[in-house]
Amino acid sequence: MARNVEGFRDFAAARGGSLFRTAWWLTGDWHLAEDLVQETLGKVYRRWRGPDGIDNPAGYARTVLVRTYVSHRRRRSSSEVPTGELPDRSVHDDDAALRLALLEALARLSAKDRAVLVLRYWEDRSLEETATELGMSTGAVKSRSFHALKRLRVVLGDGVEDLSVLD
C-alpha cells in the first residue's frame, strides 16, 4: 500500500517544531528531544496510510511522544538517582537561569509527573485530554498534577516567587 510519504512529510514538517518543544520540556536536553521526536515520527510514519489513515494525527503524535518518553525514562530509572536538592543558584538573573532552574526542578519529578505537567501547562491539555494521552484516569492526572506542583514548589524554593513576575 502506498505510504503517501509526501503527505507524511508535510504533516511532520508542520508538527515537528511543536513536538520538539514539548520533547524538550520532557527531556530537558536538545539531543534527547531530537531522538524522542524522531522516534515519535517514526512510529507515526509506521502506520501512516494517508491523510485519512489516522484520526487526529497531531493528537496521536503527541500521545506517542509522551508515552515513548515515559517508557524510555522507566528503562533508565534504575540508574537515575535524584539528588533531592537543587544547587544553590539564584534564578533572578535572566531567562537562562530560570530555564535551567525549571528544567532541574522538572528533572526531579517522575516521568509520569513530568509528562502530566508538560501536557497540562505547556500543551494546555485538559485533565481529560491529558488522561487519555497518558492512558490514565482523570483522577490520577489530578493527583499527579497536585503532587508534582507541590514538589516543584519545594524544589524551586524561594525561586518560585520569581515566576510571578514573568507575565
Partner 1 sequence: MQDIDERLVHAMRRVAVPETPPVDDLVSGGIARGERMRRRRVWAVAGGGLVTALATAVALVAVPEVMGRPEVAPGADDVSVDLRDESSGEDTGDDSLDEAVIVEVVLDLLPAGDVSEVRSGVGSEGQVWFEFVYDDGAGASVIQGSVSAGESEAFSCPVIVNGGECEMDVLADGTKLMRMAGPYYPQADREPERLLWSVHVSRPDGLRINLGEMNAPTEKGSDISRPEPPLTLDQLTAIVTSDRWRQP
Residues of span 32-91 touching partner 1 by CB under 8 A: 33-34, 37-49, 53-57, 59-60, 63-64, 67, 70-71, 74-75, 77-78
Distance CA 25, CA 20 (A): 9
Q: Which of residues 119-138 bind partner 1 (CB under 8 A)?
A: 120-122, 124, 132, 135-137
The distance in angstroms from the start CA to the end CA of the chain is 50
- Cβ of residue 2: shortest distance to partner 1, in angstroms? 13
Instruction: Please report where in the chains the cell 519529578 appears, as a residue.
Output: 109
- Cβ of residue 55: shortest distance to partner 1, in angstroms? 5
- Cβ of residue 88: shortest distance to partner 1, in angstroms? 20
Quick one: cell of 18?
Answer: 511543536
Quick one: cell of 89?
Answer: 543558584
151 binds partner 1 (CB under 8 A): no
24 binds partner 1 (CB under 8 A): yes
CB 69 within 8 A of CB 27: yes
